[in-house]
Amino acid sequence: MAAFLGVEQSLTGRTWVGPSIEQERRAEAMAQATRLPGPLCHTLVRRGITAEEAAGFLEPTLRDLLPDPLSLKDMEPAATRVLRAAERGERIAIFADYDVDGGSSAALLISWLRDMGRPATLYIPDRIDEGYGPNPPAMSRLAAAHDLIVCVDCGTLSHEALAAAKGADVIVLDHHLGGETLPAALAVVNPNRQDESGDLAHLCAAGVVFLLLVEVNRQLRSKGATGPDLMALLDLVALATVADVAPLIGVNRALVRTGLKVMAQRNRVGLRALADVASLNEAPRAYHLGYLLGPRINAGGRIGKADLGARLLATVEPAEAQALAEQLDRLNRERREIEQRVTEEAMEQAEARGLDGALVWAAGEGWHPGVVGIVASRLKEATNRPSVVIGLSDGEGKGSGRSVSGIDLGASIQRVAQEGLLIKGGGHKMAAGLTVAEDKLDATMERLSELLARQGADAGGPRDLKVDSLLMPGAASVELIEKLETAGPFGASAPAPRFVLPDMAIRFAKRVGENHLKVSFGDGLGAHMDAIAFGAYDTPLGPRLEQNGGARFHLAGRLEVNEWNGRRSPQLRLEDAAEASGG
The residues near 344 (Cβ < 8 Å, ≥ 6 apart) are none
Number of domains present in the structure of the chain:
3
More confident residue, 46 or 565: 46
In terms of domains, do 482 and 575 share one? yes
| Residue 118, in any domain of the structure | yes
Give the CATH number of the domain where residue 531 resides.
2.40.50.460
84 CB burial (10 A radius; 0-12, 13-18, 19+) = middle
H or E stretch including 92? strand 92-96
The residues near 341 (Cβ < 8 Å, ≥ 6 apart) are none
In terms of domains, do 326 and 392 share one? no
Query: Is residue 279 scored above 70 in pLDDT?
Result: yes
Q: Over the chain, what is the mean pLDDT?
A: 95
Read off the pLDDT band of 583 (50, 70, 90): very low
Question: Has this prediction a pTM greater than 0.85?
Answer: yes
The torsion angles phi and psi of 167, rounded to 5 degrees, stand at 90, -5
The residues near 483 (Cβ < 8 Å, ≥ 6 apart) are 36, 37, 40
Q: Which range has highest mean pLDDT (71-85, 396-410, 426-440)?
A: 71-85
In terms of domains, do 310 and 426 share one? no
Is the alpha carbon torsion for 220, 224, 228, 233 positive or negative?
A: positive
Tell me whether strands 187-189 and 169-173 are parallel, antiparallel or unpaired: parallel
Query: Is residue 441 scored above 50 in pLDDT?
Result: yes
| Residue 48, in any domain of the structure | no
In terms of domains, do 421 and 309 share one? no
* Cis preceding-peptide flag for 489 (omega within 30 of 0): yes
User: pLDDT tens for residues 221-267?
Assistant: 999 999 999 999 999 999 999 999 899 999 999 999 999 999 999 99
Identify the weakest region by mean pLDDT among 58-62, 128-132, 273-277: 128-132
| Residue 215, in any domain of the structure | yes
The residues near 5 (Cβ < 8 Å, ≥ 6 apart) are 16, 18, 500, 502, 554, 578
In terms of domains, do 475 and 406 share one? no
User: pLDDT tens for residues 235-244?
Assistant: 999 999 999 9
Give the CATH number of the domain where residue 443 resides.
3.10.310.30
- Spatial separation of the C-alpha atoms in residues 475 and 471, rounded to whole Å: 7
Average pLDDT over residues 146-175: 97
Identify the weakest region by mean pLDDT among 11-20, 125-134, 321-330: 125-134
In terms of domains, do 322 and 396 share one? no
State in Å, rounded, how far the first CA of the chain is from the last one. 24
Average pLDDT over residues 510-537: 94
Domain end position, chosen among 407, 432, 454: 454
In terms of domains, do 379 and 433 share one? yes
User: pLDDT tens for residues 291-327?
Assistant: 999 999 999 988 889 999 999 999 999 999 999 999 9
| Contact of 391 with 364, CB cutoff 8 Å | yes
- Spatial separation of the C-alpha atoms in residues 381 and 276, rounded to whole Å: 29
Read off the pLDDT band of 538 (50, 70, 90): confident
In terms of domains, do 449 and 493 share one? no
Buried-state track 550-567, b at ≥16 Cβ within 10 A, e below 16: eebbbbbbbbbebeeeee
| Residue 348, in any domain of the structure | no
In terms of domains, do 181 and 242 share one? yes
- Spatial separation of the C-alpha atoms in residues 389 and 182, rounded to whole Å: 29
Using DSSP's 3-state secondary structure scheme, residue 537 falls into: helix
| Residue 433, in any domain of the structure | yes
Q: How confident is the model at residue 463, as a pLDDT?
A: 65
The torsion angles phi and psi of 376, rounded to 5 degrees, stand at -60, -40
- Structural domain of 372: 354-454
Distance of CA 374 to the CA centre of its chain: 12
Read off the pLDDT band of 1 (50, 70, 90): low
In terms of domains, do 506 and 559 share one? yes
- Spatial separation of the C-alpha atoms in residues 175 and 485, rounded to whole Å: 28
| Residue 285, in any domain of the structure | yes
In terms of domains, do 536 and 430 share one? no
Q: How confident is the model at residue 460, as a pLDDT?
A: 63
Q: How confident is the model at residue 181, as a pLDDT?
A: 95
| Residue 300, in any domain of the structure | yes
**One-letter identity of residue 397:** G
- Spatial separation of the C-alpha atoms in residues 170 and 184, rounded to whole Å: 8
User: pLDDT tens for residues 168-190?
Assistant: 999 999 999 999 999 999 999 99
- Spatial separation of the C-alpha atoms in residues 509 and 522, rounded to whole Å: 12
Kindly report the number of other CB atoms within 10 A of residue 184's CB atom.
11
Give the CATH number of the domain where residue 325 resides.
3.90.1640.30
| Residue 30, in any domain of the structure | no
* Ranges of H-type helices in 421-509: 441-454, 478-485
- Spatial separation of the C-alpha atoms in residues 251 and 16, rounded to whole Å: 32
Kindly provide the residue ranges of all beta strands, DSSP E only, lying in 454-582, ordered along the sequence: 464-466, 469-470, 499-512, 516-522, 528-533, 552-564, 567-579
Read off the pLDDT band of 98 (50, 70, 90): very high
Angle at 476 between CA 472 and CA 478, to 5 degrees: 175
In terms of domains, do 277 and 407 share one? no
